[in-house]
Amino acid sequence: MSITVSVDRSADAAYVMLSDREVRFTEEAAEDVLVDLDEFREVVGIELLELGAEIPFQVLIERFHVPSGAISAIRKLRASLEDSSLIEARDGSAPPVPYGNAETA
C-alpha cells in the first residue's frame, strides 16, 4: 500500500491518501478527523481538519479496518507534523510526502 501525505499549514489541515480509488462516502471518525471511503466502504483517505486533531487510532482500526502498516505510517505523520523541519511551499503548504509501501495486516 502506497501512502501519500499532503500537509497544508496555512489551512492547518492534512490528508493521508491510502488509495487513488474514487471517494463515494465520507464519515466522521472523530471531531476534526474524516475518513473517505470507496464504493465498497474501504478507506481511501483520512483528512485531518486540524493538524493538532487527536487521531482516533482504535476507531480507525476497529470501525474502518485501516491496515496496521497504514496506522504505523499515520503515527509517523503525527510525529512529523510537530516537527518544524517540514519544508513549506510559498502558499504555506508542504509538498506531498510519500511514506512508501506499508505492510497490510
The pLDDT value recorded for residue 72 is: 84
Tell me the mean pLDDT in the region 40-62: 93
- Assess whether pLDDT exceeds 70 at residue 104: no
Beta bridge partners of 34: 28, 47
- Which cell goes with 100? 512508501
pLDDT interval class at 1 (50, 70, 90): low
Angstrom distance (rounded) from CA 36 to CA 45: 5
Angstrom distance (rounded) from CA 68 to CA 96: 21
* CA-only gyration radius of the chain, Å: 13
Give pTM, 2 decimals.
Answer: 0.75
Grouping H, G, I as helix, E, B as strand and the rest as coil, residue 8 is strand
Tell me the mean pLDDT in the region 56-85: 82
The pLDDT value recorded for residue 103 is: 37
For residue 15, count other CB atoms closer than 10 A to its CB: 16
